[in-house]
């Protein structure tokens, strides 16, 4: 098969990692894989470095004329993000190439956008959701979807030198280290997380919390709340860091406070490195941490998040057992080889229908 992946995001987050993982698996299986993306973003640089064919554009709208010209040269065109889907759907007026879209979020569609969203979703030949929670909105809007979970390479080995450098950088020796990896945006709900750390700090003073993530619409509010709660020496905003998963081996607890989430790929990184997880039950996180694979809390409940973190720190044997269960789960259900096979099987079924 000749497969074109589309991802036009500027940054490097879960969806971009999943795009690259998919490309790697498709190529391993002997297929021709290309990428259509934004010029000079991290994804394009990574894909070029790995020898993939990469088409780069400066403006999002340029995807439409590109697809009108080039779509006929591919068997499958796969939109990995919502902002590429619009251009892919519009281009279908000019070609018959099979189209696929992966939805990575589980939030509700705003009422004023339901009609146009449903129209776009119904125009793709195959709709994929990354978790059961992500299928609920498509189903409500009359769109059928299949579930192919996101994944992580089971062979990943953390760079221990980077983890040690982190400990030295923030003077973390003899401290419990808790962390999250999330942009400072509303859907990640960092303000609830900061309040949770405030509650935890009243219970114990033997830890530091590191927040790995780029700035967003909540950046200034986060800084103000940290100051208001006198957590300047406890809650550290590290900013965006490349290969943040290298740091996980130093962590005692990983935390997610999202209001809306697909599957939370950073949770898989924690699972893979045997780090116990405390999380809200947003979207697919409820599925991922079910059956004792982590501690789940209601969205927005800062007290419950604090109690979950405290429980893990107070009961290390139970935490170790929880982490072992989570590790076995991610290795079995969320490995990239299985994800690649699931997508390729879905592609082949789609192409067979058109013959």
**Residues facing 32 on adjacent strands:** 2
Query: Where are the domain boundaries for CATH 3.40.50.2000 in the chain?
Result: 2-151+335-353, 160-333
276-335 pLDDT per residue, tens: 999 999 988 998 999 999 999 999 999 999 999 999 999 999 999 999 999 999 998 899
Q: What is the pLDDT of residues 70-93, one digit of tens each?
A: 999 999 999 999 989 999 999 999
Query: What fold is seen in the domain 2-151+335-353?
Result: Rossmann fold (3.40.50)
Where are any strands of DSSP class E within the chain? 2-7, 32-38, 53-57, 76-79, 98-103, 126-129, 146-147, 176-181, 207-212, 235-239, 253-256, 277-280, 295-297
Average pLDDT, whole number, for the chain? 94
**Is pLDDT at 340 greater than 80 in this prediction?**
yes
What class is the 160-333 domain? alpha beta
Q: What is the pLDDT at residue 201?
A: 98
Give 128-138 pLDDT, tens digit per residue. Answer: 999 888 899 99
**Phi, psi dihedrals of residue 7, rounded to the nearest 5°:** -155, 115
Cβ within 8 Å of residue 319, ≥6 positions away:
253, 276, 312, 313
């Amino acid at each position: 098969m000749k497969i074109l992946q589309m991802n036009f995001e500027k940054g490097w987050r879960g969806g971009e990692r999943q795009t690259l993982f998919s490309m790697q698996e498709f190529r391993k299986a002997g297929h021709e894989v290309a990428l259509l993306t934004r010029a000079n973003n991290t994804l394009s640089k990574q894909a070029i470095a790995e020898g993939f064919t990469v088409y780069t554009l400066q403006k999002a709208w340029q995807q439409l004329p590109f697809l009108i010209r080039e779509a006929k040269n591919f068997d499958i065109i796969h939109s990995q993000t919502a902002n590429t889907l619009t251009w892919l759907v519009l281009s279908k007026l000019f070609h018959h190439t099979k189209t696929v879209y992966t939805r990575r979020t589980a939030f509700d569609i705003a009422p004023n956008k339901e009609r146009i969203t449903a129209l776009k979703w119904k125009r793709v030949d195959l709709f994929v959701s990354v978790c059961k929670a992500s299928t609920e909105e498509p189903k409500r809007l009359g769109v059928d979807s299949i579930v192919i979970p996101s994944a992580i390479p089971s062979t990943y080995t953390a760079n221990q030198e980077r983890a040690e450098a982190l400990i030295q950088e923030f003077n973390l020796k003899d401290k419990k280290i808790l962390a999250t990896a999330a942009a400072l945006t509303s859907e990640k709900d960092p303000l609830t997380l900061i309040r949770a750390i405030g509650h935890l700090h009243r219970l114990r003073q033997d830890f530091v919390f590191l927040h790995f993530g780029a700035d967003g619409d909540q950046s200034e509010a986060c800084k103000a709340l940290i100051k208001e709660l006198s957590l300047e020496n406890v809650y550290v905003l590290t900013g965006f860091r490349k290969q943040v998963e290298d740091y996980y081996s130093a962590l005692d607890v990983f935390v997610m406070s999202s209001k809306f989430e697909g599957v939370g790929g950073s949770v898989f990184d924690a699972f893979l490195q045997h780090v116990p997880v405390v999380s809200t039950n947003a979207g697919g996180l409820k599925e991922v941490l079910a059956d004792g694979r982590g501690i789940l809390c209601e969205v927005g409940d800062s007290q419950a998040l604090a109690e979950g973190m405290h429980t893990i720190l107070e009961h290390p044997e139970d935490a170790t057992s929880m982490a072992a269960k989570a590790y076995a789960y991610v290795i079995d259900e969320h490995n990239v080889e299985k994800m690649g096979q699931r997508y390729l099987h879905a592609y082949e079924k789609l192409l067979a229908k058109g013959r």
